[in-house]
Amino acid sequence: MDDSAHDARRRRVSPRLYDGVAGALDHAGLARLRADLSRGIEGDVLEVGAGTGRQLPHHPPGARVTATDPDAGALALAARRSPATRTVVAAAEALPFDDAAFDWVVCALVLCTVRDPLAALAEMRRVLRPAGRLRALEHVRSPNRALARAEGLASPLWGAVAGGCHLDRDTRASLVAAGFAGVTARPHLGGNIVLLEAARGA
């Protein structure tokens, strides 16, 4: 999937090859969802799992953006795509930032692939300010029961060829379990892709 914070995938797919695939997806319609993901964010923004930086051009010009990814090669491409962005090599589960450092945390198709979604979300929540918000564009387990079962069966094989990407994660439930509040989900493609937003919570 897209800009993942999972280093296993990076070991299997070169950043340039992956960037080409992501570019094709953007042309096929993903760019419109990327624009929705970034719309209205402001202040100090952390993008987790930025990969080669396909999301970065969509962030508003006034936002002060820091981008992380475990793959230094991917971040080198991201830095060329968005020279004003600060880039930091880091996994989603171990963000090297102080508590309450950011107004927004965003990620694009990342939580499907991280090794430990709850640990990653705990880190994202930790670095948010009390009034901070998280926004994530994710593919999730289908709301269609038959398709969800098929995703569960296919996920191990798909993960083996797609660097650990899971087809059947319930990311909305993970946000709630991690302590985020007021979680909303705007569905796309029949609910297989969702735009999630949540407050840091108390």
Domain regions of the chain by residue span: 7-199
pLDDT of residue 47: 98
Read off φ and ψ for residue 120, nearest 5 degrees: -65, -45
pLDDT digits (tens, 9 = 90+) for 116-155: 999 999 999 999 999 999 999 987 655 656 655 655 544 5
Domain 7-199 has CATH 3.40.50.150: yes
Q: Which residue has the tokens 């319930």?
A: 170
pLDDT of residue 150: 54
pLDDT of residue 188: 77
As a whole number of angstroms, the distance between CA 116 and CA 162 comes to: 17
pLDDT digits (tens, 9 = 90+) for 72-96: 999 999 999 999 999 999 999 999 9
CA terminus-to-terminus distance, the chain: 32
pLDDT digits (tens, 9 = 90+) for 13-42: 666 556 555 555 655 466 788 899 999 999
As a whole number of angstroms, the distance between CA 35 and CA 47 comes to: 14
The model's confidence at residue 187, banded by pLDDT at 50, 70 and 90, is confident
